């Protein structure tokens, strides 16, 4: 079915790509955002498109990893004490997902989405100048010790099972790829066929501009109340309303309350993350995003500077950011890449929308076929935005998306 009136809620990467994909199919699309485009996680991430990524966050032994991390001064994982009671149900589900049988299933279902992630990017933007913001860049993780590398054994097993191409590097192999790294890394793991978005904020806003230039409509509008009728859906904010034949809920970490109004209680929480920008001169020191596995941070060479991203913080959507932890990583970054200029340019915090099984919620709402969900893209929203947008467009057009969508249903928990 083409030519429907559709409202997409949320103008992050998921909403922007969805609006573009629906517009291509001839629908009349209104993209709404309560703050304007790219106000959430899509602005400040590491920009890595990790094609064929398959390791969910909940892996066997994660409980010990978390306990080990919590005690460390530079811990990349924190739960604010006041938020602990709210986070507990999510944590218990997360632990349940770390059982081997669940991990295999989650990896398979994650891979089913990510395996065409890079192609999906090109499908959406290869005929536009936005493609200039993409660079071919394999995903490199580096390890200072045998112990930290040996913890990748299960992830490598998953990659072997699913046929994900990767290479194990020795110290010389790491240096060959990234000669400016300090010679402190005993091992490297390189996952092929990735891309880097050199400015995720510019990319997301650029997609919204493209959508507008093709006749789309963007409206600043906070979706607060959904009124589901037989022929339409009315979206209300405090003083205004919008009517649509269908809506797509793509409001990232803020999607839970909207889904609840459609009748789905989804265990969506936010894993907050941070970035710190270093001067543009430091960006030239790397050719790809590199993750320090020992300290759980990524250095990404962006057009406006070298971006250090890190942290998983459970504190809810509204708590004030705590930039001290990302700042405390600067000495470790200097040790990793000695040539960097450590003058801080800016800091940022964003809310990753995460479900305990590392899979998004995707597809028609079980109780209402006027509502399509696309949220919960966790650590991989930049990777998955176009892929999930194309699936949403297929569903609305009545085409077969060629993927079993049951694992991503809102009522799977």
Ligand X SMILES: Cc1cc2nc3c(=O)[nH]c(=O)nc-3n(C[C@H](O)[C@H](O)[C@H](O)COP(=O)(O)OP(=O)(O)OC[C@H]3O[C@@H](n4cnc5c(N)ncnc54)[C@H](O)[C@@H]3O)c2cc1C
* Interacting residue ranges for ligand X, rule: CB under 6 A: 9-15, 32-35, 39-42, 45-48, 222-223, 250-254, 273-275, 309, 350-353, 375, 377-383
Whichever of 143 and 375 has its CB closer to ligand X, that residue is: 375
Whichever of 39 and 319 has its CB closer to ligand X, that residue is: 39
Kindly give, in sequence order, each residue whose CB lies less than 8 Å from that of residue 240, ignoring residues fewer than 6 positions away.
221
Q: Where are the beta strands (DSSP E) in 55-128?
A: 77-79
Whichever of 194 and 407 has its CB closer to ligand X, that residue is: 194
At 272 the three-state DSSP class reads: strand
Whichever of 9 and 177 has its CB closer to ligand X, that residue is: 9
Nearest distance in Å: CB 298, ligand X:
7
Nearest distance in Å: CB 147, ligand X:
25
In terms of phi and psi (left: phi > 0; alpha: psi -120 to 50; beta: otherwise), the region of 223 is beta
Whichever of 152 and 309 has its CB closer to ligand X, that residue is: 309
Radius of gyration of the chain (CA): 21
Whichever of 162 and 355 has its CB closer to ligand X, that residue is: 355
Nearest distance in Å: CB 79, ligand X:
16
Nearest distance in Å: CB 115, ligand X:
14
- Cα 71 to Cα 76, 77, 298, 310: the distances in Å are 10, 10, 21, 17
At 299 the three-state DSSP class reads: strand
Nearest distance in Å: CB 271, ligand X:
8
Secondary-structure breakdown of the chain: helix, strand, coil percentages, each rounded to the nearest 5: 35, 25, 40
> What backbone torsions phi and psi does residue 292 show, to the nearest 5 degrees?
-80, 110
Nearest distance in Å: CB 285, ligand X:
18
Rounded Cα gap, residues 225 and 172, in angstroms: 57
């Amino acid at each position: 079915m083409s030519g429907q009136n559709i409202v997409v809620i949320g103008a992050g990467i998921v909403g922007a790509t969805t609006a573009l994909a629906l517009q291509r199919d001839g629908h009349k699309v209104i993209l709404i955002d309560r703050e304007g485009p790219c106000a959430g996680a899509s602005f400040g991430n590491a920009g890595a498109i990790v094609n064929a990524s398959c390791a969910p966050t909940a892996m066997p032994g994660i409980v010990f990893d978390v306990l080990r991390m919590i005690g460390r001064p530079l811990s990349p994982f924190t739960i604010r004490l006041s938020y602990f009671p709210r986070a507990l149900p999510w944590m218990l589900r997360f632990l349940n997902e770390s059982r081997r049988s669940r991990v295999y299933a989650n990896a398979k279902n994650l891979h089913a989405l990510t395996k065409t992630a890079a192609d999906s990017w090109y499908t959406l933007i290869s005929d536009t100048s936005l493609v200039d913001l993409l660079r071919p860049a394999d995903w490199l993780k580096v390890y200072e010790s045998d112990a930290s590398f040996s913890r990748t054994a299960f992830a490598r097993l998953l990659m072997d099972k699913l046929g994900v191409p990767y290479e194990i590097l020795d110290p010389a192999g790491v240096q060959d790829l990234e000669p400016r790294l300090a010679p402190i890394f005993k091992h490297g793991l390189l996952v092929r066929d990735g891309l880097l978005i050199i400015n995720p904020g510019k990319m997301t806003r650029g997609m919204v501009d493209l959508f507008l230039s093709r006749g789309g409509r963007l409206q600043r509008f906070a979706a607060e109340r959904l009124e589901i009728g037989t022929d339409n859906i009315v979206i209300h904010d405090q003083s205004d309303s919008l009517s649509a034949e269908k809506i797509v809920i793509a409001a990232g970490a803020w999607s839970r309350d909207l889904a609840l109004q459609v009748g789905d209680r989804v265990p969506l929480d936010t894993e907050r993350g941070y970035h710190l920008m270093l001067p543009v001169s430091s960006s030239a020191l790397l050719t790809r995003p590199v993750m320090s596995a020992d300290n759980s941070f990524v250095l990404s060479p962006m057009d406006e500077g070298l971006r250090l991203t890190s942290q998983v913080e459970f504190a809810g959507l509204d708590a004030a950011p705590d930039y001290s932890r990302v700042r405390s990583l600067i000495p470790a970054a200097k040790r990793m890449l000695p040539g960097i200029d450590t003058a801080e340019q800016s800091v940022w915090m964003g809310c990753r929308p995460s479900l305990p099984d590392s899979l998004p919620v995707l597809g028609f709402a079980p109780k209402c076929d006027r509502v399509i969900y696309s949220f919960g893209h966790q650590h991989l929203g930049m990777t998955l935005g176009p892929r999930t947008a194309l699936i949403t467009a297929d569903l609305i057009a009545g085409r077969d998306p060629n993927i079993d969508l049951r694992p991503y249903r809102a009522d799977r928990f």
